[in-house]
Structure 1
Amino acid sequence: MPDLDDQAISKVAELGIKSQLDEVENLNVAIDIDPLKLITGALNSVSIAGVGMVMKQDLRIEQMEFNTGAVAVNPMSLAFGKIELTHPTEAEAIVTLTESDINRAFGSEFVKGKMQALEVQVNGETATVDMQKVSFGLPGAGKILFSTEVVLQNSQERKSVAFTAVPKVSPDKHQIVLEDVEYLDDQELSPEFTEAMLNQAKQLLDLRNFEIGDMTLQIKRLAALKGKLILESEAIVNQFPSS
């Protein structure tokens, strides 16, 4: 049986999580162990607190809090610097995204590439448009605000469009969908254009983008506050990441 304390095991888990991230400002992993229980492969709990975590697609998380109950592990795996779960474990996770986090993701090359050469209806005719200067806002009152400049490829005419929408949990609880769209100043361009923007937001705010290691997240509640979006979710963890 490996002679490991909770700090040593926590460090193993921390390195594994860092290996899954592009960047992280601060990460703290706390594993509560009872040496007598560890012999049988039981950890009391695992807590993860992260700040400034950058995931795939340049999506930054301002803060993540992650807490499990009891965790069943293969005790011998710890001797090889791994935390190997023998049974899936349940956890609670809270993810906080700021307005600037989401704008950063919309400004990434990955997303900008998906906002070019969109086929939409303009004045009753099909036109090809590029979206530029996409801005995502969190004004509070349970709403989000989108604004963008649209360039018609043929004429190079520019149109400014802005609308609010209400974020809600999708039926599968993996994504955030945006409903109750209201255009500002009668600027509506076309249903296709609106759908294209809403679809990009839904893809970015898919909880599967925030999964670390072999886990499944489902949103329980969300709150669109002034300047930040908070997602409370349930997680089923099959394995923690290893470095």
Structure 2
Amino acid sequence: MFGGFAGFNNDKGGDWGENLLNKVATNTIRHLFTRSDLVEVEVRCQPSSKLLQGTIDSFKMNGRGLVIRKQFRTEEMSFETDTVAIDFGSVVKGNLSLKQPTQAVAQVKLTQADINKSFEAELVRKRLENLTIEDLTKISGGKPVSFTDVDLQLLPDNRIKLLAKASWGDRSIPVSLNCSLGIAKRRRIVFDNALFEPKDVPEDLRDTSKELTIALGKILNKMVDLDRFNLDGVKLRLNRLETAGKMLLFSGYAQIERVPQTG
């Protein structure tokens, strides 16, 4: 290691510094996820001697198959920072510490299958099961209502179709809605203009199913808030979303106050 410092101003020393930072950054980022198929980090620093002062031009991360909090999988995620001021001493010790906050441009790709799998996560289920809100208890006669068996289908033009079952007591009624996806305050995903689709529901249940559909649309609008998924020291914000086949694409940015140690 001391040999690396001694030769840091030549190309070999610069490679040593960049390789060390790449390794530490990769390990740090990989530990933010429950598991991952691939995590790659590329440091950009010209000249490489700037590393000794703790300054790098940017670093870029590409990841595939990243699982957040055990149950939320992303097909792909990438981000690239602005200029970053780091504590190089922390890197030598195997850690990554920022001297000042930085921003990163981020892109995330989710598959339809992974979105549907996320509806089975505890964090999501507790917002859809055993609900006692007034809009629902009026329909159920005061009994808690649960929405289960959620099946979301991505459609062109940022639209989705969502099927589910609303249950209370011994009753189970299918729910079917079609709506457009949008972004509110750069942190919430909203389900706009939810429309009831009667063709998926038996005729004798349509009136009740329509009421449940309207109620479910309101619940969904309050459910997907990025602040619930923020890592310690990182604030996530969205600029754009887009449906593309069986994929949902997000672009936005992360405000990084400090490098989180765990996900």
TM-score interval w.r.t. the shorter chain? 0.7 to 0.9
Gaps of 5+ in 1: none
Matched AA of 2:241:
L
Paired with 2:158 and 2:137, the residues of 1 have a C-alpha distance of 30
Q: How does 1:226-237 map to 2 (within 5 A)?
A: 226-237=245-256
Letter in 2 for 1:233: G
| Selected match of 2:219 from 187, 191, 196 | 196
The reply to whether residue 164 of structure 1 matches residue 186 of structure 2 is no
Check 1:110–1:213 CA distance in 2 against 1; reply closer, same or farther (3 A cut). closer
Match of 1:130 in 2: 146
SS in structure 1 of the partner of residue 241 of structure 2: strand
Question: Residues of 1 paired with 2:138 and 2:181: CA distance?
Answer: 26
Partner of 1:175: 188
Structure whose alpha-carbon radius of gyration is higher: 2
Task: Write the distance in 2 (CA, Å) between the matches of 1:242 and 1:126.
Answer: 45
What's the RMSD between the two structures over aligned residues?
Answer: 2.3
- What is the aligned length? 236
Match for residue 32 of structure 2 among 5, 14, 20: 20
Q: How much does 1:29 deviate?
A: 1.0
- The SS at the match of 2:19 is helix
Deviation at 1:242, TM superposition (A): 4.4
Higher strand share: 1
1:183-207 CA deviation, whole Å, 9 max, x = no partner? 101541344343234433x24xx26
Asked whether the equivalents of residues 174 and 208 of structure 1 are also in contact (C-alpha less than 8 Å), the reply is no
Q: List gaps (5 residues or longer) in structure 2.
A: 6-15, 199-205
Further displaced range: 188-197 or 33-42: 188-197
Q: By how many angstroms is 1:224 displaced?
A: 2.3
Q: Distance in 2 between matches of 1:112 and 1:174?
A: 20
Output the CA distance in 1 between the equivalents of 2:140 and 2:127.
23
After TM superposition, the score normalised by the length of structure 1 is 0.87
For residues 207 and 97 of structure 1, the distance between their equivalents in structure 2, rounded to whole angstroms, comes to 18
Native 8 Å contact 2:18 2:48 kept in 1: no
Whole-Å Cα distance in 2 between the matches of residues 66 and 129 of structure 1?
Answer: 40
Which of 145, 149, 164 does residue 165 from structure 2 map onto? 149
Match in the other structure for 1:71: 84
Q: Is the 8 A contact 1:84 1:240 kept in 2?
A: yes
Structure 2 CA distance for partners of 1:67 and 1:195, relative to 1, 3 Å: same
Query: Which 10-residue stretch deviates more, 76-85 or 42-51?
Result: 76-85
Of the structure 1 ranges 80-89 and 127-136, higher mean CA displacement relative to structure 2 is found in 127-136
1:30-49 alignment to 2 at 5 Å?
Answer: 30-33=42-45, 34-49=47-62
Relative to 1, partners in 2 of residues 1:58 and 1:135: Cα closer, same or farther, differing over 3 Å?
same
Contact 2:55-2:83 at 8 Å conserved across structures: yes
Larger RCO of the pair (alpha carbons < 8 Å, separation 6+): 1
Query: What is the CA distance between 1:125 and its match in structure 2?
Result: 4.5
Q: Structure 1: which 4+ aligned runs deviate by more than 3 Å?
A: 1-4, 121-127, 190-194, 197-200
Give the superposition deviation at 1:41: 1.4
Provide the rounded CA distance (Å) in 2 between the counterparts of 1:198 and 1:158.
23
SS of match in other structure, 1:194: helix
Is the Cα contact below 8 Å between 1:208 and 1:216 reproduced in 2? no
2:112 to 99, 109, 123: 99
Structure 1 residue 109 and structure 2 residue 122: aligned?
yes
